[in-house]
């Protein structure tokens, strides 16, 4: 594969080619994808692949794991003191109560 080959082709070889169908009813997202494709002179499909790879943590050009799906709260893990954790547990206990009147 040459470096001048389309981005999409460099990502998916004949052996690994798969087809995904995405349905989107969010106009703002669709428009943003189209804007990026136009600005960068690439296809809508190439934009979608690039963003899916980045979100899945497969894009080696991503600056950090902070851009990946599922890691946005990692910096908070293990940062509460025992007292803070107990305060949260106490505050959430209210939501565990079942209001019998609502279920009649």
Q: CB–CB of 46/6 below 8 Å?
A: yes
Average pLDDT of the chain to the nearest whole number: 79
Contact 69, 56 (CB under 8 A): yes
3-38 pLDDT, tens digit each: 455 555 555 555 677 888 888 889 999 999 999 999
From residue 18, how far is each of 13, 47, 48, 65, 81 by CA, in Å? 10, 16, 14, 26, 47
pLDDT at 79 (0 to 100)? 82
Predicted pLDDT at 42: 92
**Verdict on whether the full-model pTM lies above 0.75:** no
Across 68-89, average pLDDT? 80
pLDDT digits (tens, 9 = 90+) for 43-64: 999 999 998 888 888 877 655 5
Per the CB < 8 A criterion, the answer to whether 8 and 49 are in contact is yes
**Both tokens of residue 9?**
């082709």
CA distance 100 to 104: 7
Residue 47, burial from CB neighbour count under 10 angstroms (0-12, 13-18, 19+): buried
């Amino acid at each position: 594969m040459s470096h001048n080959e389309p981005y999409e082709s460099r990502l998916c070889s004949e052996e690994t080619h798969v087809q995904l169908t995405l349905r989107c009813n969010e106009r703002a997202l669709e428009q943003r994808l189209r804007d990026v494709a136009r600005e960068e002179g690439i296809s809508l499909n190439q934009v979608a692949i690039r963003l899916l790879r980045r979100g899945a943590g497969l894009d080696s050009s991503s600056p950090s794991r902070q851009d990946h799906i599922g890691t946005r709260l990692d910096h908070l893990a293990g940062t509460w003191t025992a007292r803070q954790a107990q305060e949260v547990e106490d505050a959430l206990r209210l939501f565990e109560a079942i209001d019998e009147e609502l279920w009649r």
